[in-house]
Amino acid sequence: MSDAIKHECGIAMIRLRKPTQYYIDKYGTASFAANRLYVLMQKQINRGQDGAGVANIKINTKPGTRYISRYRSIETSAVNDIFDKINKKYKKAKKLGGHDALSDGEWLKEHIAFSGEVWLGHLRYGTHGENSIETCHPFLKQNNWRSRNLVMAGNFNMTNNEELFGKLVQLGQHPKEKTDTVTVMEKIGHFLDEENQRIFDKYKHNHTNEQLTHIIENELDVARILRRSCRDFDGGYAMAGMIGNGSAFVVRDPSGIRPAFYYADDEVIVVASEKPAIKSAFNIDFKAIKEIKPGHALVINKDGSYDESEILPAREKKSCSFERIYFSRGTDPGIYQERKNLGKALIPQILKAIDFDLKNTVFSYIPNTAETAFLGMIEGLDEYLVTKRKEVLLDGKPHVGDLDELLSFRPRVEKLVSKDVKLRTFITSDEDRDSMVASVYDTTYEVIRPGVDTLVVIDDSVVRGTTLEKSILTTLDKLNPKRIVIVSSAPQIRYPDCYGIDMSRMKEFIAFRAAIALLKERKMDNVLDKVYDACIAHPHGNDNHVKEVYSYFTDEEISDKIAELVTSAEIRADVKVIFQTVDNLHRCIPDHLGDWYFTGDYPTTGGTRVVNKAFVNYMEGKTVRAY
């Protein structure tokens, strides 16, 4: 995507279901779980490059033995940094226990950190706030009772964090922060404490406290804890947790907004945000990987048994379609085909934009994630040409040019755009910054016929339009084409996201700025005041009042205005911008219907409140996020 945005975090969990010695004997290494978790995290590095963290829990350790270990890092290669430190623990084993120490599972578990059965990894993209090691997951809530310890990491944003914080205060707590990560962990931690107390009270008259410790650990009802904890949550989430006794869970929001997948056999239970990571780490068939159902939690008990339990009633599934368009790796076979379909679905609009003049048109893409949609676009063009040939050969329809040319013609495909480097424009003056930004992309010269050819360049999405205006169009215009057609495989982004993507301010969206410009051109500024008044009057309502801003214009009118806004006076070529339609989006991605950033139809009431507040912030000149 040319307009880079920060987005979803990534989670990875491994639960070993056999004793440590089993993996040493079968796989010849004491690092079986650590190695697999490393692969799970590296294969999801696209999900978070601001920081990472890993935690590990040992089950059934003796009192006086450390059983929870954690490393976090904000180094440039955070995952490598963490696992280098973990590997040093295993090297230390040789010094402490001799050459055979790495072959003794029980000795390792007793003496070496990160040798336990339950592993949790997290990759962080900081959508808001500071980037420090303290903000990296997993988070810990510690207690001397093993079954009251909680380790949590997640991919989520809550829209009602203020409300959740207030509820903690009402419970008598004094939270140290207002972040949704801390709020969520403290909420779950509160009900974990209550579950411990419930079991303690149930058996306290017939058992000693030492006996009660083991009873609680074995009877802990994790699903019950989550049902009581999650009932007030409003947001998109896939939250993973480990409890000190060795139980673990991954819970997903009722709309299935954030992704979570798992695989289980008699050796391991594995959870990740993306299927290809599990496939790569364990070399299994894609069909063996299951999706955690919306509103459900995969609960792993202390004894290694597991179940997928309903936590909240599932709503209509609204999985984030941006995962499929851009965020998740395209090596997932479903995502790969969906992205190709998105490119193919744009063919009618593209042909219209180039006046069906394929002979004088060159097709390309913005590297690198738009490449798959580009392949689909070219495939669609080939299918169009096959249809036209059939019409001439079988139906006898007239055509321009000779038959040999018709049969041999192929769309002209070139790699016109190359992303060079991340230029450090912060050291330049304001006057020089635009020229520096324009150099982020480079182009291939002398393959375009000046003044003759049209360029069609596909991108995943156009969010802010900044890179398009400052860099891509400037770069392409150097080739002196007759026309430049920018194609977005996603629809127009009109509304903020509040479930994990860094798209929270209305004024940053080029589609919103286009609608505002159209309103002002047509002397309809009163619409903005009308929408503002409605948002102020109903701050907790369930109606998205911002939809009215767009309601006076067709999609094409907004697209044409976007083209105008991103075309500077120096651009000589005619510029047109084409966006995917929402109908095509749903046809291409039928199982992932989350489209609120395109349509304004939020899956939770909190989302609707956020968009109205975001508009109020815009009107009042505030640049803070709306949740």
Is the CA virtual torsion 358, 442, 473, 623 positive or negative? positive
440: left (phi over 0), alpha (psi -120 to 50) or beta: alpha
Q: Which amino acid is at 334?
A: G
Q: Give the pLDDT mean for 432-436.
A: 50
Joined tokens for residue 210: 């030492």
pLDDT band for position 195 (cuts 50, 70, 90): very high
pLDDT at residue 148 in the model: 97
Examine the pLDDT at 416 and tell me if it is beyond 50: yes
Instruction: Report how far residue 256's alpha carbon sits from residue 593's, in angstroms, rounded to the nearest whole number.
Output: 10
**What mean pLDDT do residues 87-112 have?**
89
Helix axes 605-619, 526-537, angle to 10 degrees: 130
DSSP string, 514-579: HHHHHHHHTT-THHHHHHHHHHHH-TT-S--TTHHHHTTS-HHHHHHHHHHHH--TT--SEEEEEE
CB atoms within 10 A of CB 312: 19
Report yes or no: 34 and 114 within 8 Å, Cβ to Cβ: yes
State the pLDDT confidence band at 129, using cuts at 50, 70 and 90. low
Mean pLDDT of all residues in 313-318:
96
- Residue 418: count of CB within 10 angstroms of its CB: 12
**Higher-confidence position of 578 and 403:** 578
Percentage of the chain modeled with pLDDT above 70: 95
Give residue-wise pLDDT tens across range 328-343: 989 999 999 999 999 9
CA 506 to CA 15: how far, in whole Å?
42
Domain extents in the chain:
10-155+242-317, 331-498+556-601
Q: Is residue 180 very low, low, confident or very high in pLDDT (cuts 50, 70, 90)? A: confident
Tokens found for residue 293: 């159902």
Tell me what pLDDT residue 48 has.
87
Looking at residue 427, its pLDDT comes to: 41
**CA dist 465 to 326, 364, 537, Å?**
17, 18, 32
399 falls in which pLDDT band (50, 70, 90)?
A: confident
* The predicted structure's pLDDT at residue 109: 93
494 contacts 512 by C-beta, under 8 angstroms: yes
Residue 473: Cβ-neighbour burial (10 angstroms; 0-12, 13-18, 19+) = buried
- From residue 388, alpha-carbon distances to 105, 385, 391, 445, 618 in Å are 68, 5, 5, 32, 50
Helices (H) and strands (E) in the chain, counts: 24, 20
The model's confidence at residue 95, banded by pLDDT at 50, 70 and 90, is confident
Q: Which one, of 425, 322, 456, 467, lies nearest residue 2 by Cα? A: 467
Q: Tell me the backbone φ, ψ of residue 338, rounded to 5 degrees.
A: -65, -40
End-to-end CA distance of the chain: 25
Spatial distance between the Cα atoms of 324 and 585, rounded to a whole number of angstroms = 10
CA distances from 557 to 429, 467, 519, 563 (A): 36, 22, 12, 10
What Cα–Cα distance (Å) separates residue 391 from each residue in 38, 350, 380, 386, 574? 55, 21, 17, 9, 32
Predicted local confidence at residue 553, as pLDDT: 98
Contact predicate 103/28, CB 8 Å: no
pLDDT at 423 over 60: no
Beta carbons of 480 and 581 less than 8 angstroms apart? no
pLDDT computed for residue 4 by the predictor: 64
Query: For tokens 């120490």, what's the residue?
Result: 101
| Eight-class DSSP state of 245 | T
* Per-residue model confidence (pLDDT) at position 396: 77
What mean pLDDT comes out for the span 374-395?
Answer: 92
Please give the mean pLDDT across all residues of the chain. Answer: 91
From the CB of residue 427, how many other CB atoms can be counted at a distance below 10 Å?
9
State the virtual CA torsion across 360, 346, 510, 577 in degrees, nearest 10.
Answer: 20
The number of C-alpha atoms within 13 Å of 11 and in the hemisphere containing its C-beta is 30
278: confidence class by pLDDT, cuts 50, 70, 90: very high
For residues 12-18, average pLDDT: 98
User: Residue 130's pLDDT is what?
Assistant: 64
- Residue 583: which H helix or E strand, with range? helix 582-588
Top-confidence residue, 627 or 607: 607
d(CA 96, CA 88): 12
- Per DSSP, the three-state class of 626 is coil
331-498+556-601 has which fold? Rossmann fold (3.40.50)
Q: Per-residue pLDDT for 433 more than 50?
A: no
In the predicted structure, residue 216 carries a pLDDT above the cut 80 = yes
pLDDT of residue 622: 92
The tokens describing 28, both together, are: 């010849």
pLDDT at residue 431 greater than cutoff 60:
no
Model pLDDT, residue 134:
86
Q: In the prediction, which pLDDT does 425 show?
A: 41
Q: Which residue has the higher pLDDT, 420 or 530?
A: 530
Q: What is the pLDDT of residue 173?
A: 80
* Per-residue pLDDT at 426 exceeds 80: no
In this prediction, residues 510-515 reach a mean pLDDT of 98
Average pLDDT over residues 75-104: 90
Higher pLDDT, 134 or 188: 188
pLDDT attached to residue 556: 97
What confidence tens digit (pLDDT) does each residue in 21-49 have? 999 999 999 999 999 999 999 999 989 88
pLDDT band at residue 3, thresholds of 50, 70 and 90?
A: low
Task: Render pLDDT for 233-262 as a digit per residue (tens, 0 to 9).
Answer: 999 999 999 999 999 999 999 999 999 999
Exposure class string for 261-281: b at 16+ Cβ within 10 A, else e: bbbbeebbbbbbbbbbbbbbb
Query: Model's pTM, two decimal places?
Result: 0.92
- Return the CATH fold of 10-155+242-317: Glutamine Phosphoribosylpyrophosphate, subunit 1, domain 1 (3.60.20)
**Percentage of residues in the chain with pLDDT exceeding 90?**
76
Question: How many beta carbons lie within 10 A of that of residue 469, not counting itself?
Answer: 20
pLDDT digit string, tens, across residues 285-311: 999 999 999 999 999 999 999 999 999
Report the pLDDT averaged over residues 274-278: 97
- Rounded Cα distance between 424 and 18, Å, is 50
pLDDT-wise least confident of 83-87, 162-166, 192-196, 370-374: 162-166
pLDDT band at 98 (very low <50, low <70, confident <90, very high): confident
Query: pLDDT band at 374, cuts 50/70/90?
Result: very high
* Strands 306-310, 412-413: pairing kind: unpaired
Measured CA angle at 549 (ends 546, 552), to 5 deg: 140
Q: How far, in Å, are 47, 450, 456 from residue 235 at the CA level?
A: 19, 51, 38
Q: Peptide bond before 138: cis, by omega within 30 degrees of 0? A: yes
Note the pLDDT of residue 429: 44
The pLDDT score that the predictor gives to residue 174 is: 79
pLDDT at 1: 58
603 bridge partner residues: none
How is residue 294 annotated by DSSP? T
